[in-house]
Amino acid sequence: MASKQLKEFTREEVEKHNKPGDVWVIIDAKVYDLSRFVGLHPGGQAVLLDEEVVGQDVTEAFYGLHRHEVLERPQYARLQIGTIKGEESVIIGSVAGALSKVPYAEPTWLSDGYHSPYFNEGHRKFQKVMRQFVDEYVYPDAQARELDEKRASQEVIDKMAELNLHAMRLGPGKHLKGLTLMNGLVKPEEFDYFHELIITQEIVRCGARGYGDGLLGGEVIGLPPVLNFGTPEMKAKILPEVFSGKKFICLAISEAHAGSDVMGLKTTAVKSEDGKEWIINGEKKWITNGHFADYFTTGCRTEDGFTVILVPRVEGVSTKLIKTSYSSTAGTAYITYDNVRVPVENTLGPEGGGIFVILSNFNHERWVMCCASARSQRLVVEEVLKWISQRKAFGKPLSSQAVVRNKVAAMIARCESTQGWLENITYQMCNMSYKEQASKLAGQIAFLKMYSTQSAQETARDAVQIFGGRGITKTGMGKFIEHYHRTVPFDALLGGAEDVLADLGVRQAMRAMPKNARL
């Protein structure tokens, strides 16, 4: 509430304010004077002048139609003139940094009274700080940018850089050496995949898919080739620029002609006569962060096959936004290379060996997507649980319908199994070399990604059924459900389509079959 002095009223006093021009209501033991607001109400005048509303306690009706955050918006918060004598408000809005008490709204390791073999005290402290940071800085920016479709605010990117979050988003490794992580909360050598899982899952809680990708998703996939295959000079220049949030990078592989079929790509790189430069010509499509990127990790067709080359935003590079079904805050771009010249030293990995450069990061990229998918499903579970308990139909809460409960049961089961499997794989990653991960976990991660995105889509569909019209409405009570349902197919495509991943996993299992195994 603003600085205005709140008075105390009895219910009888409120009841007297019950006619046009003099409308008071009670919501959760708070008294609101809606007299002048009636004509401005986005839901119309008539509903507020109903005899069951004027002068009455409308808590139940209000929460059946509005999110709590409506009352927290300054223009509506100031409609409150007082409280009911001797009564306490019970409904709490979101508190920055707090854990949700709604069942299944947090993974078990963050739920009261549960235990975990994977997360230690350090992870718990890390999660606390990360949540506070996301709630305070990232969430408001995410919601605003989803609306205006601009890229994530530089202020948020700078704040993330202060904590070295951009560096941490690439996972554990040598690139963290010498950096102060999360104001010293975790030492670079202690940072593991569970810390990284926490970062991804906390950001996903914003429920803003386009923004999530816009928040340097391009770095997560575009920088590893530089990290793993760049020259020392290149790394010394580019890593600090990207980690400090001053420059942006993206991965530019797919084209209108070809995506996963890299040999079908048409962008070419040919050597200049003196052999010192690459001359690149072609187009790239659907490149996340491409619109505002300063560097493009670009897949090209070369004499020897497929080669990856780092291209700075130099003469001949132009980008334009592509309108996708999520917001332009992701900066998804169409890129044109018109006689772009870069030094041959910008080659990442061996000439003709680009496929290896790209594949080497696939497991990590897919695992990050699993972290995101598991957490976004949980956000939907929380929204659904709140909705079915506060929304009434046929005089009873939706939760009293067995068919609704059945859908929710399946949602919870999918969400919990995804997270459980994810934590197991993450533990394996913490205990395996990168090479071991490639041979032992490629199948596991492929299956988990397939399973998570299938689960996510089923959950999105069921959530829309439960939310009804609100599940397809961009504002109001179902806004996160609408957003989720609209954007969830992205996860099923990026990093390998479901069928491709399923096949990859089985083929890997077949290769590992013992020669002497028989029924």
Spell out the alpha helix ranges (H) of 181-301. Answer: 193-204, 209-214, 217-222, 224-229, 232-243
Please, which residue, 59 or 288, has the CB nearer to ligand HEM?
Answer: 59
Residue pair 236/242 in contact (Cβ under 8 Å)? The answer is no
Residue 171 CB contacts under 8 Å (≥ 6 apart), including other chains: 193, 196, 364
Question: How far is residue 266 CA from its own chain's centroid?
Answer: 32
Q: CA 62, CA 429: separation in Å to the nearest integer?
A: 48
Q: What would the two tokens of residue 454 be?
A: 């299938």
468 binds ligand HEM (CB under 6 A): no
Q: What would the two tokens of residue 189 be?
A: 């050598």
54 binds ligand HEM (CB under 6 A): no
258 binds ligand HEM (CB under 6 A): no
Q: Name the one range near ligand HEM by CB under 6 A: 62-70, 123-131, 225-233, 387-395.
A: 62-70
Print the binding letters for residues 2-41 with ligand HEM: x by CB under 6 A, - otherwise: -----------------------x------x-x------x
475 binds ligand HEM (CB under 6 A): yes
Q: For ligand HEM, which residue of 65, 129, 185, 355 counts as binding (CB under 6 A)? A: 65
66 binds ligand HEM (CB under 6 A): yes
476 binds ligand HEM (CB under 6 A): yes
Please, which residue, 66 or 235, has the CB nearer to ligand HEM?
Answer: 66
Q: CA 319, CA 321: separation in Å to the nearest integer?
A: 7
* Least Cβ distance, residue 32 to ligand HEM (angstroms): 4
Q: For ligand HEM, which residue of 38, 48, 216, 371 counts as binding (CB under 6 A)? A: 48
- Helix 442-467 with 402-430: angle, nearest 10 deg: 160
| Four-point Cα dihedral 447, 448, 454, 457, nearest 10 | -160
Q: What would the two tokens of residue 77 be?
A: 């918060």
Residue pair 17/33 in contact (Cβ under 8 Å)? The answer is yes
Q: What would the two tokens of residue 158 be?
A: 């700078």
Q: CA 369, CA 379: separation in Å to the nearest integer?
A: 15
User: Count of residues binding ligand HEM (CB under 6 A)?
Assistant: 20
Q: For ligand HEM, which residue of 5, 40, 42, 515 counts as binding (CB under 6 A)? A: 42
Question: What are φ and ψ of residue 106, in 5° steps?
Answer: -125, 150
Q: Name the one range near ligand HEM by CB under 6 A: 45-53, 114-122, 158-166, 206-214.
A: 45-53
* Least Cβ distance, residue 6 to ligand HEM (angstroms): 15
Q: Name the one range near ligand HEM by CB under 6 A: 64-72, 206-214, 312-320, 357-365.
A: 64-72
Cβ neighbours of 453 (radius 10 Å): 27
47 binds ligand HEM (CB under 6 A): yes
Q: Name the one range near ligand HEM by CB under 6 A: 13-21, 66-74, 158-166, 377-385.
A: 66-74
Q: Which residues here bind ligand HEM, judged by CB under 6 A?
A: 25, 32, 34, 41-43, 47-48, 53, 58, 61-62, 65-67, 70, 76, 79, 475-476
